[in-house]
Chains A and B, each alone.
Chain A
Amino acid sequence: MNNLEEVAKNIRRKIVDMIYRAQSSHVGCSLSSADIWTALYFGGVMNISPDTFEDENRDRLVLSKGHGVSAFYATLSERGFFGDEILKEYGKDGTTLASHIVKDVLPGAETSNGSGGHGLSLGVGMAKAAKIRDLSYRTFVLSGDGEMEEGSVWEAMLFAGQHKLDNLVLIVDRNHLQDGKDGQRTEDILDIEDLEKKAEAFKWDSVRVDGHSFDELIPALKETSDKPRMIIAETIKGKGVSYMEDRGEWHGKAPDEDEYKIAMEELT
């Protein structure tokens, strides 16, 4: 797994670098998801690469937690979908790299997103299309935990369970923090738990894993059953940078020069 650790570190360095240069935004939830991205794109989970991106049977990734987009850009560049130099445009006037993903602006970007609660329905549609078209691809949706408060998510959950979309995986980046300068926890705002019981009630399978452990993430992501799957990935917001970890203030803040240097040292 050493190689994966290296990849995840590179992704984290790219995230911090983008957000430092742009002085914007959403570093915490990008860092929390870096290991999930690594598992999906480098851990042998998704059938996807720059060479096979036009293939109808490529696996699909829907970024639903749109504010975590810098992790997505960093992952795609690390995977070779485009060069690192494009990342330096992030946050500049005239860039196509919005701080929420826009479909087709970059190779590898399947959908537009940025408003919470849209991604699962898109993923449901993609998974349903695979059934109708008799294609074998799987669809992965990466959602934030705060986003699970949106009602549309539960409409989509209901549909996926009813239609037995066993080719659909919802990954919840469960970092327990949402916006709020005082570091408010989802439990104190709208408690989304008990997710396992909710999944079961909606006719889904579920598993809770350490979202920073490849040994737990990768098998959970690879496993299939006859139902849609929810992977509850327990993560730490700001993971990898000591002063950001589990600190609500780093939801939407960008590091200053000194903070940037410390972060990059820690990620060496």
Chain B
Amino acid sequence: MRFESVRAIYDYGIKNGKMCFITGDYGHTKTEEFRSDFGDRYFNGGMSEQNIIGMSAGMAISGLRVATYSIVPFITLRCFEQIKIDVCEQNADVLIIGGGGGLAYGGAGATHYSIEEIAALSALPRMKIVSPADPREAYELTSQLLELGGPAYIRIGSGREDDLPVDKYNVKLGKAAVLKEGGDAVIFSYGTIIKEALKTSEMLKERGIDLGVVNVHTIKPLDKDTIVKESRGKRAVFVLEEHNVIGGLGSMISSLLLEGGLTPEIFKIFGVEDTWPKKIGSQKYLREELGISGNKISQKIDNLLR
């Protein structure tokens, strides 16, 4: 995903001479091409995220477009106030690309996890929040965010993820994608963990449960119409996210449904239960430990629906 998101910046910047790319000491594959083809529109801003965000805003309100790129917690929470005032309040054309979304840097520990940034950033007026599930979505959504402009955050993975094992669908910013129609229940998810939701749906099928899967890659602004439509008439509504259960997509969907008068018999958010894992390990290991793997949630859903 990292490569696809950066490739989208490059492709956009080749067409648009105002596009600048600033990394926060976070390597990527196209360094040489950026140096030769972007010239002074590309540079490493060093380990100074507050300055990178403030400076990006200053550049953006002076007629440029800027994408910044670093590891999620450093380029979001460390410089949160700069994002709030300099970027969002000033409505600056700054796209923040955060690598290593969720628990992607599993072995690195809590400093490198991002399980709270969606809660924080979604409270900022004007901020758009996107979390692609695979490289194809990363390219498409990065390109579409650049076309649209304004403050935006895109949460990507940490490496070479596979494309989702589903038929190709139209990736449109702001429009949730129904990956599987469901009968009894539906699960909303985003990011790479959506593969676990797809796995869950397959596993439950064998047990006679028809679980729909909806990819909410755009978390803000939320595609309320699709979420309400896909929830209506379902016995159970679930959310799966690699984020704290407080303040993520699950929180947004629960208030959306309640405000719309929709009260499914069962509603459950599967996410990180307001904790940091005591034992560390790979992303796969952590999902299992925290009970948000396909195996774990299919058991939980099976129990809940019995």
Contact = CB atoms under 8 A, between A and B. Distances in A.
A118 interface: yes
B91 to A, nearest CB: 8
Most B CB contacts (10 A, CB to CB) among A120, A122, A151 go to: A122
B54 A131 contact: no
Contact of A112 (B40, B56, B59, B85): B85
B45 A129 contact: no
Contacts of A118: 54, 81-82, 85-86
Interface string B42-83: 000110101101111111111110000000000000000110
A96 interface: no
Contacts of A122: 54-55, 57-58, 61, 86
B42 to A, nearest CB: 10
A122 B57 CA distance: 6
Contact of A124 (B40, B46, B51, B89): B51
Interface stretch (A78-86, A155-163, A190-198, A229-237): A155-163
B82 A121 contact: yes
A123 to B, nearest CB: 6
Interface residues of B, number: 26
Contacts of B85: 112-115, 118
A228 to B, nearest CB: 13
A23 interface: no
Nearest to B62: A129
B254 interface: no
A132 interface: yes
Nearest to A158: B48
A131 B61 contact: no
B81 A115 contact: yes
B235 interface: no
Given A112-B89, A115-B81, A125 B48 contact: no
17 contacts: A103-B89, A111-B90, A114-B85, A115-B85, A118-B54, A121-B53, A121-B54, A124-B58, A125-B56, A126-B58, A128-B55, A129-B59, A132-B59, A132-B64, A151-B50, A156-B55, A159-B45
Closest 4 CB pairs of A and B: A125-B58, A121-B54, A129-B62, A155-B51
